[in-house]
Amino acid sequence: QVQLVESGGGLVQPGGSLRLSCAASGSFIIIGAMNWYRQAPGKERELVAGVTSGGSTDYGDSVKGRFTISRDYTKKEIYLQMNNLKPEDTAVYFCNADLMNLDLGWRNYWGQGTQVTVSS
């Protein structure tokens, strides 16, 4: 079984910071791209940030300059440092990853999500 487990969400005031973590575990041999998505109530899920297996990063327009994605290849984890948070960043944040299993090949997996609420 493959698991992506997010942590680090919570309530923060506007202008504050949070750091999300996502750990991958289970029976896979290669990790490809890893991403953070978010979904606010009544809105579609959107890409927040992504990092390829080679370390290239990409960000959604609304978070550029405020959020930073990073990756620890040894720990099989990714992180999302979120600074200068705004109320519109309020959403459930999901970890997403392409993982290769010997039996199943490449598959795309999702975590359960962690709530981020930005409010005064």
Please tell me the predicted confidence (pLDDT) of residue 102: 87
Q: Which pair of structure tokens corresponds to residue 84?
A: 């200068």
* Whether the predicted pLDDT of 8 surpasses 90: yes
* Whether the predicted pLDDT of 1 surpasses 90: no
Is the CB of residue 57 less than 8 Å from the CB of residue 50? yes
Query: pLDDT by residue (tens digit) across 12-53?
Result: 999 999 999 999 999 888 999 999 999 999 999 999 999 999
Please tell me the predicted confidence (pLDDT) of residue 36: 98
- Residue 98's identity, in one-letter code, is D
Query: pLDDT by residue (tens digit) across 74-115?
Result: 999 999 999 999 999 999 999 999 999 888 899 999 999 999
Please tell me the predicted confidence (pLDDT) of residue 28: 87
Q: Which pair of structure tokens corresponds to residue 106?
A: 């490449």
- What average pLDDT does the segment 51-69 reach? 97
Instruction: Sort residue 63 into left (φ over 0), alpha (ψ -120 to 50) or beta.
Output: alpha
Q: Which pair of structure tokens corresponds to residue 4?
A: 């992506």
C-alpha to C-alpha distances, 84 to 9, 28, 63, 79, 98, nearest whole angstrom: 15, 36, 10, 16, 29
| The residue to which tokens 């999302």 are assigned | 80
- What average pLDDT does the segment 64-78 reach? 95
Give dist(CA 77, CA 110) in Å, integer: 14
